[in-house]
Amino acid sequence: MEELLTAKQVQEHLQVDRTTIYRMLKDGRLQGVKVGQQWRFPRSEVEGIVSATPPERESPQLSREILPIHCLQSIQDVSAETVEIGAIITDDEGLPITEISNSCTFCNLILSTESGKQACIESWRKLAHQHEKLPQFFTCHAGFQYARARIEAGGEAPAMFVAGQFFTSPPDTAVRRAQIEQLAARHGLEVAELTAADRPQHVLSQATQAKISIWLQKLADTFALISLERADMLNRLQRIADLSGLMRET
């Protein structure tokens, strides 16, 4: 006598949910018999479907394409405003993936010019090429401090979470004035406008710097987890779609 499987056993064999099992039963893609109040399914019937199913897809790898940008943008916006620093997600070459959050007026002036935007991207690229695994502070082309945490999983790190636009110690007045003059000349901006927008008082204590490093890494890990869970869901939906297509063909 042929072995009969329960609905739960069929779910495990086909890797689909209970609703899909009964939908397949209703439209004839799966044969079953009712024993009392419960449905049972011949093992040969289920194994026939399994053998016709395409090989299971590999576990999703982290890539830029699976990043849920709108979701990450919202988390980034709220986090940057809460911590009161600028933040952005870039790819592994420093090219922006999200819009910069909570950016200060000084940096917005620089980013408003094409040369300034390219200078910022080059600074982010240098961050991406840092060998250190954990976040390390780095001075950008405009004199501010930045740090990054890689968004990675399974050995892949297609993106990074960057936070900055602050000082780790009060800048020297004369040095900062000369730096602003150079930035203004390089990017076609007014010295007075840049000077008025500068905020040398935005200095983070060592304790806050340490907290930001931890915060950066935790958020980057969260971004990676959200992205992988989304990829896994899409993978499962595709498998169900593939299975449904095979059922229609038989």
Is 143 strand, coil or helix?
coil
Q: Assess contact for 180 and 172: CB atoms under 8 A.
A: no
Strand 86-91 relative to strand 156-166, pairing: antiparallel
Asked if pLDDT for residue 249 goes beyond 80, the answer is no
Q: Which amino acid, 51?
A: S
Give the whole-angstrom CA distance, residue 196 versus residue 168. Answer: 20
Q: Tell me, what's the pLDDT at 110?
A: 97
Q: Tell me, what's the pLDDT at 19?
A: 79
Give the whole-angstrom CA distance, residue 33 versus residue 109. Answer: 71
**Residue, of 226 and 141, whose pLDDT is higher:** 141
Average per-residue pLDDT for the chain: 85
CA 106 to each of CA 144, 193, 244: distance values in angstroms, whole numbers, following the listed order: 10, 9, 55
Q: Tell me, what's the pLDDT at 25?
A: 79
Total H helices, total E strands in the chain: 9, 7
Read off the tokens for 145: 């401090």
> Which has the closest alpha carbon to 6: 23, 26, 21?
21
Give the whole-angstrom CA distance, residue 166 versus residue 192. Answer: 20
Q: Per-residue DSSP letters for 31-62?
A: --EEETTEEEEEHHHHHHHHHHSPPPPPPPPP
Which range is least confidently modeled, 40-44, 97-101, 231-235?
Answer: 231-235
Which range is least confidently modeled, 2-6, 52-56, 175-179?
Answer: 52-56
User: Any idea which residue has 């044969």 for tokens?
Assistant: 31
Residues 55-69: tens digit of each pLDDT: 444 445 566 667 788
Read off the tokens for 46: 């289920």
Percent of the residues in the chain that have a pLDDT greater than 70, as a whole number: 87
Give the whole-angstrom CA distance, residue 31 versus residue 25. Answer: 6
Residues 3-47: tens digit of each pLDDT: 888 888 888 888 888 878 877 877 777 888 877 778 888 888 888
